[in-house]
Structure 1
Amino acid sequence: MGKMAEDQECILCCYTCLLNQQIREIVHLYNFFIYFINVVFIVSLLLK
């Protein structure tokens, strides 16, 4: 019984770790996207 609980805890921990990595990558992409939009916006203003 104890072993089973330990395994579940390990799986949960692993999953949380992977999820955190995923979130970090998504946030990174999101920040890049916002930055890109700002650059495009500024360039379009300058070209007018």
Structure 2
Amino acid sequence: LTKEENDKFIEDDLNNSSNLKIMTNWYKKVTSQDTIHLANNLVIK
């Protein structure tokens, strides 16, 4: 690999890991909201 190619791989890797982090945070947020929503429904009933 040339230095340019190697840099591109590293950059792509960083982009992928930050996308994964964003997805994970989004998933946690969504699931915690769903859990709260379910808990509220159970309390009401």
Alignment TM-score, normalising by the size of structure 2: 0.82
Provide structure 1 residue ranges, at least 5 long, that are not aligned to the other structure.
Answer: 41-48
Provide structure 2 residue ranges, at least 5 long, that are not aligned to the other structure.
Answer: 1-5
Alignment TM-score, normalising by the size of structure 1: 0.78
Q: Give aligned pairs, total.
A: 40
Kindly report the root-mean-square deviation, in angstroms, between the aligned alpha carbons of the 2 structures: 0.6
Runs (4 or more) in structure 1 with deviation over 4 Å come to none
Larger Rg: 1
Identity across matched positions, percent? 10
Counterpart amino acid of 2:39?
I
